[in-house]
Amino acid sequence: MLSRVVTISVAVAIVILAIILHVTQPSTVGPLGILIVFILMYVSVLGVLTFLLYSLSRLISKISTSFTVKKPIRPLSLSRSYYFSSVLALAPVMLVGMQSVAEVEIYDVLLIMLFVVIACTYISKRTG
């Protein structure tokens, strides 16, 4: 069920985002339109990262079975991949938002990376 919801929401978000980017201009769309663009960007990156994390964890799990003897690596479930990607998808959206206001410096990137590391650590402790 989760895979259907994520797939449909990503497809709808990408189509609407493409339509908005081709039809409007940032100076004419207003603040609400820009907010919608950021939300659609987040939803599309979230879905892509969810399936990417899920697929990579399954691939790494299959590859590692030939190397590990005692405790095999378990792949991430789709819901756990969704939790991690919900945090990871926010990072590029925050960077684009910060770039639209002012120049992004190394300090800003480090703060976003710190946020992502803390949030992923929290998720791994709560869902593990």
| 6-52 per-position pLDDT tens digit | 999 999 999 999 999 999 987 888 889 989 999 999 999 999 999 99
This prediction's pTM: 0.87
Helix ranges (H only) for the chain are: 2-23, 26-64, 78-88, 90-101, 106-127
90, 42 Cβ separation under 8 angstroms: yes
Q: What is the pLDDT of residue 26?
A: 78
pLDDT at 110 over 90: yes
Number of structural domains, the chain? 1
Q: What is the pLDDT of residue 37?
A: 92
Measured distance CA(89)–CA(103) in Å, rounded:
20
Contacts of 43 (CB under 8 A, 6+ apart): 9, 10, 13
Q: What is the pLDDT of residue 108?
A: 92
Share of the chain above pLDDT 90, in %: 72
Q: What is the pLDDT of residue 5?
A: 94
Q: What is the pLDDT of residue 1?
A: 87
Domain that holds residue 57: 2-127
| Exposure string over 72-109, b if 16+ CB within 10 A, otherwise e | eeebbebebbbbbbebbbbbebbeeebeeeeebeeeee
